[in-house]
Structure 1
Amino acid sequence: MSTAMPTTFTWKGVRVPYIAPWTGEIREQPRLERRPLNRGGGIAYVDEHRLYDRHAGILWLRMGAVRGVGTPILAGVNSQRQRQAMDRQLCQVCGVTTYGRADGTHLYLLAEREGGSITEGEQTASPPIHEDCAVEALRDCPHLRERAVAARVERPEPWGIAGMLHDPATLAPRPSTKRGGLTFLPYTSLKLLWAVAHLDVVSLHGCTPVNLDELLALTV
């Protein structure tokens, strides 16, 4: 496993997270078509590339991989790097592995929460994060600290994807009421045939809550 430090980019004095997309990476999405039953059924891109458009048999959003080209979209996520960060347990901010702690755990910081704590088996599309990087994120995003929770996680396990569902009859998108209109789907769901995956999702096990004030104090 490579431990090389990815290139660091800053924008207006703020470090651009590893998983953030850049305008140069945004791609026009191809037209969808129905895939023949003898090829699995569901939906496919009309010009689908077998090596790049699917991962584990699931159709994925098309996005470039030219980090640093254009302007960063700090509130967005590059689907390819997010999936890579989930698969390899890379920090969502710096892109370096989060393996190496003596206790074998990984820190997860989940935003957009109204109190409470991370629960056993909870699903998330947020990759792990280093302590220092978490402090940086909390410092640079004041609203994040107000609605975030953190936990040390022993076992992040593959669960499914967050994607855009499409109507089997019309192929029109069927957005959910969640942010971004994405639907969380486990790998066992038949609805995956009619979804375009945007994000990888894991379930969190062996969770120990982390107090954000204590986290900030430890890294001063």
Structure 2
Amino acid sequence: MNNRAPRQFVRQGLRVPYIAPWTGEIREQPALERRHAHKGGGIAYVDEHPLHDRSAGILWVRMGAVRGAGKPLLASVNAPRQRQAMDRQLCQVCGGTTYGATDRRHLFLLSERQGKPIVEGEQTTAPPLHESCAAEALRDCPHLRNGAVAARVESPEPWGIAGMLHDPMTLAPRPSAQRGGLTLLPYTSHRLVWAVAHLDVVALRGCAPVGLDELLALTV
């Protein structure tokens, strides 16, 4: 296994997270059409590419994968890299593996929790982090200043996707009340055929709380 982290980018003195998109990666989203019933029904892109636009039968948002192209968009997420980080357990900040030499657990840091702990089986779209990268994120990320919590997790299990649902009749988007308008859908949901996936979702199993002071001490 290659443990080396990808190239790191710095803007205005801050490291650009691995999963952050760049302006050069943004793609115009194609029009949607109804998918033939013999292909599973639901929605499809009018110019859909069978090898690139779906994963396990699920339609995904189009986005490039050319880190460093243009300017970073720190408030958003690059869909291909987020999926890669979830699948391979890569740090969302540096992109290196979060598998330890002795401790096989992974550190997860969730934002805007106002003190609520991470509970067993909780779903998240946030990939894991190294402890030092988590400390950096706590120091620099505005979203984490509104109340973050951390836990070491034994098993982040695939659960589903966060996607934009579309009306079965009009195909118009149906945003949720969550930030970004995305809806969390398990892989068992019949509504997946009407969604464009943006993010992978995992369920956290074997959670042990971690104090933020312990992580912040690493920035001293």
TM-score normalised by L of structure 2: 0.97
Structure 1 residues 43 and 142, CA gap change in structure 2 (3 angstroms): closer
Q: 2:25·2:64 contact (CA, 8 Å) conserved in 1?
A: yes
Find out whether 1:21 has 2:35 as its counterpart. Answer: no
User: Within 2, Cα distance between the matches of 1:81 and 1:147?
Assistant: 25
Percent of aligned positions that are identical: 75
User: Within 1, Cα distance between the matches of 2:148 and 2:199?
Assistant: 20
Once structures 1 and 2 are overlaid, which stretch shifts more, 61-70 or 142-151? 142-151
User: How much does 1:202 deviate?
Assistant: 0.1
User: How much does 1:219 deviate?
Assistant: 5.7
User: How much does 1:142 deviate?
Assistant: 5.2
AA aligned to 1:62 is R
AA aligned to 2:66 is V
1:1-220 correspondence runs (5 A): 1-141=1-141, 144-218=144-218, 220=220
The secondary structure found in structure 2 opposite 1:198 is: strand
Q: 1:104·1:154 contact (CA, 8 Å) conserved in 2?
A: yes
Runs of 4+ displaced beyond 6 Å:
none
AA aligned to 1:80 is P
Q: CA RMSD in A?
A: 1.1
User: Which structure 2 segments of 5+ residues have no match?
Assistant: none
User: How much does 1:101 deviate?
Assistant: 4.4
AA aligned to 1:185 is L
Q: 2:132·2:218 contact (CA, 8 Å) conserved in 1?
A: no
Q: 2:159·2:202 contact (CA, 8 Å) conserved in 1?
A: yes
AA aligned to 1:127 is P
User: Within 1, Cα distance between the matches of 2:140 and 2:218?
Assistant: 18
AA aligned to 1:169 is M
User: How much does 1:113 deviate?
Assistant: 1.4
User: How much does 1:215 deviate?
Assistant: 2.0
Structure 1 residues 3 and 164, CA gap change in structure 2 (3 angstroms): same
Q: 2:5·2:97 contact (CA, 8 Å) conserved in 1?
A: no
AA aligned to 1:98 is T
AA aligned to 2:124 is T
User: Which structure 1 segments of 5+ residues have no match?
Assistant: none
AA aligned to 1:154 is E
User: Within 2, Cα distance between the matches of 1:4 and 1:143?
Assistant: 28
Query: How many residues are paired up?
Result: 220
